[in-house]
Amino acid sequence: MQITDLKCTVIGQNPVIRITTDEGIVGWGEAESPKSYLKPHVLFYRPFLLGEDPTNVERVMLKIRRLGSFKPWGSAVSAIEMALWDIAGKAAGLPVYKLLGGKVRDKVRVYNGAVRFPMSGQTPDHYAANMALMKTSPEKFSIIKQGIGFHSPMPVRLPDFTYGEVREAPFYPNRGLLTERSLKHVIACVEAMKSVLGDEVGLALDCGPGWTVPDAIRLAKALEPLNVMWLEDLITGDYTPYVMAQLYREVTRATSTPIHTGEQIYLRQNFADLIEKQAVRIIGPDPADIGGLAELKWVAEYADLHGILMAPHGIADGLIGLAALVQVCATLPNNYIAFEYPTGKPEWWYDIVDGLPKPIVVDSFITVWDRPGLGVEINPERARRYLPPGDEDFFD
């Protein structure tokens, strides 16, 4: 089998890729919604793929993996890898999880991710009210994640949040030492959320990037009695193209609260320090950024060997990304906790993708499906009307 074409377009908000073959099998891949600019990055790899056998996934990836990097280049590489597995699975008549070693669980746990309700303010009462709403969500999530501190409007909305100058954009730009009042405010908001969730639903907190090491330690220690699931991306995070494992290690060693990072990180080599130095307790790679499904699987096994848990990222990966997450997370060792659930945006995404269960999430779990490849298909007839100008031939 040979690859005959690689195309990329943006459907709704998400970049979608389509790899075609001389045997008529088509593979789908998807990247995160904030990367609508990704088409040229994807097409950069096209000449390296044409004529290759897509069922030899690793051999194809050896041609392009080194040409990726942290976001956004690694996102293009990852989406291509996803599509190659889709083709390999369809060619073999097997779901992707079988090709990755087989499933170790029949259903995968997810946490709320893209299922959120707007916050009407930044006081502890607002945070408590938001958790009360989240608990009513029909998916009945057993873990709910909320943004706080630098991963929330607090730096902009609260006076004197840090000792530094406040910036409004882009992508969580603030960093600095918190005032004592701000630190107390963050802690009060977490206590308010826990008072609603109790020990019934786990609370995870997306925190940064932007925390200094001393504040991160103070926060993590103050929250120890609350048993939060994890503190995510305190030091680095969204669009931070470096890891800083030694700083995470300082924080992790100072507290019993689990520290989490990894959604930004491309390739196993860039996880090595975090894992080998036991710098965090949980890592959260995203299959649409780490370099693909097999890369995520390998890193999960290596993390397990070092006593580190897995809570993969995925909030913006869309419905093809959701299928990819289900397939790979079914194969992860028992260090797996849950993945971050993406939704289709806009809502019509659910009309153009075939193969998803209805409802998708039941009691915080998704049952792993058995259709070949990723097991979902974009329906060209229903999706064509949403193609942007210039990409009308995407399905041809």
Q: How many residues bind Mg ion (CB under 5 A)?
A: 1
Count of other CB atoms within 10 angstroms of residue 145: 25
41-74 b/e (C-beta count within 10 Å ≥ 16 → b): bbeebbeebeebbbbebeebbeebbeebebbbbb
- Of the two residues 239 and 395, which places its CB atom closer to Mg ion in the complex? 239
For residue 189, the minimal CB distance to Mg ion (Å) is: 17
- Of the two residues 81 and 206, which places its CB atom closer to Mg ion in the complex? 206
For residue 275, the minimal CB distance to Mg ion (Å) is: 18
- Of the two residues 45 and 230, which places its CB atom closer to Mg ion in the complex? 230
Nearest by Cα to 143 from 210, 262, 223, 232 = 232
Q: Spell out where 195-320 has E strands.
A: 202-206, 230-232, 259-261, 282-283, 309-310
- Of the two residues 44 and 239, which places its CB atom closer to Mg ion in the complex? 239
Task: Choose one: 3-11, 108-116, 199-207, 253-261; the region binding Mg ion (CB under 5 A).
Answer: 199-207
For residue 261, the minimal CB distance to Mg ion (Å) is: 9
For residue 271, the minimal CB distance to Mg ion (Å) is: 16
Q: Is 150 helix (H, G, I), strand (E, B) or coil?
A: helix
Task: Choose one: 101-109, 201-209, 214-222, 245-253; the region binding Mg ion (CB under 5 A).
Answer: 201-209
Contacts with Mg ion, 205-224, as mask; x by CB under 5 A: -x------------------
Residues 6+ apart with CB under 8 A from 207: 147, 148, 149, 150, 151, 216, 219, 231, 232, 233, 234
For residue 356, the minimal CB distance to Mg ion (Å) is: 24
| Amino acid found at 188 | A
Task: Choose one: 77-85, 176-184, 198-206, 287-295; the region binding Mg ion (CB under 5 A).
Answer: 198-206
Joined tokens for residue 327? 């397939």
- Of the two residues 52 and 206, which places its CB atom closer to Mg ion in the complex? 206
For residue 151, the minimal CB distance to Mg ion (Å) is: 7
- Of the two residues 9 and 252, which places its CB atom closer to Mg ion in the complex? 252
For residue 233, the minimal CB distance to Mg ion (Å) is: 5
For residue 114, the minimal CB distance to Mg ion (Å) is: 12
State the Cα angle at 283 between 353 and 60, rounded to 5°.
Answer: 55
For residue 35, the minimal CB distance to Mg ion (Å) is: 15
- Of the two residues 89 and 147, which places its CB atom closer to Mg ion in the complex? 147
Could you write out the DSSP letters of every residue in 97-142? HHHTT--S-SEEEEE-TT-------SSHHHHHHHHHHHHTSTT--S
- Of the two residues 65 and 151, which places its CB atom closer to Mg ion in the complex? 151
Which residue number places its CB atom closest to Mg ion? Answer: 206
For residue 93, the minimal CB distance to Mg ion (Å) is: 36
Site of tokens 């990055």: 41
- Residue list 240-269, contact with Mg ion (CB under 5 A): none
- Of the two residues 27 and 237, which places its CB atom closer to Mg ion in the complex? 237
Nearest by Cα to 171 from 298, 280, 264 = 264
Enclosing H/E stretch for 250: helix 245-253
Does the footprint of Mg ion cover residue 139 (CB under 5 A)? Answer: no
- Residue list 366-395, contact with Mg ion (CB under 5 A): none
- Of the two residues 206 and 377, which places its CB atom closer to Mg ion in the complex? 206
**Maximum pairwise Cα distance, the chain:** 64
Write the DSSP symbol of residue 85. H
**Residue 102 burial (CB < 10 Å; 0-12/13-18/19+)?**
exposed
Provide the β-strand partners of residue 225.
Answer: none
Site of tokens 């709320």: 112
- Residue list 69-128, contact with Mg ion (CB under 5 A): none
Q: Is 231 helix (H, G, I), strand (E, B) or coil?
A: strand
Task: Choose one: 202-210, 240-248, 264-272, 274-282; the region binding Mg ion (CB under 5 A).
Answer: 202-210
Sites of contact with Mg ion (CB under 5 A):
206
